[in-house]
Amino acid sequence: METAINLKNKNVVVTGGSRGIGAEICRKMAACGANVLINYHHSPGEAESLRRELIKDFGIKAWTFHADIASEDQIRHMFRYVDDAAGSLDVLVNNAGYETIEDALTMKLEAWDGVLNVNLRGAFICAQEAGKRMVPRKSGVIINISSIHDKVARKGLVHYCCSKAALNMMTKCLALELAEHQIRVVAISPGAIETTMNKEEIERFGREKFNEWIPLGHVGNVRDIAWACAFMASDMAGYFTGTELYIDGGYKESTIRYDPRT
């Protein structure tokens, strides 16, 4: 009886995979036996260090590739590289994301486009490229990393929230279209997750505030997201498609700050 997540010899692409949640997704995929392509935009050193770590620790194949997920040409070039390096593609994790804090009434359209071009347009182009490679094999999984802010509005992030809401609808539509080819499409929506990059921001804002607001009482860890991705990529999740999985400790359900009981 199989009791562990098995991704042995699967080929996985993780966009925005060099740090934070993306890097941990790469680690957990490799820990389960997958070969991993680490896409990066701004951090070649971190990507190369992670590549060496995955090969050393897990004995899998790993590659790095620089591509701006806002660029159609760079995305398509990356997938051609996957063809040459890996030979096939089993799993795409659309993890690359971008946000800025903007006042809705003064936001320049360049800021709107910048966020939508990565979080939605780029994710769609990646899904197109992955799907074209998966259809002939009648197998594959596309995982879109969304956010609880697909449902929970937030000041200063109208463009980001809209991009994630649209990403979840894209997930459902692609799930319907690709199901006949046995390709599954799912979304994973993190809440407040601590990374190396945002740890200082959490402390500055007040970790105790998050811990009070989150029903489970603590900020999440990148491992929480990464293990869910590995599970969703595996045959264990073979009946999941069109699903949105919220990993937030109950955060999005806890917006009213009172308890009517005595």
Catalytic residue among 160, 239, 246, 251: 160
* 146 CB neighbour count, 10 Å cutoff: 28
For 111, 207, 249, the CA distances from 214, given in Å and listed in that order, are 30, 11, 6
- 262 in Cβ contact with 224 (< 8 Å): no
- How many Å apart are CA 231 and CA 227, to the nearest integer? 6
Candidates 244, 193, 247; CA nearest to 222 is: 193
209 burial level (CB within 10 Å; 0-12, 13-18, 19+): exposed
What would the two tokens of residue 120 be?
A: 């939605």
**What is the C-alpha separation between 170 and 184, in angstroms, rounded?**
13
160 is catalytic: yes
Q: How many angstroms separate the CA atoms of 251 and 219, rounded? A: 9
Q: Which residues are catalytic?
A: 160
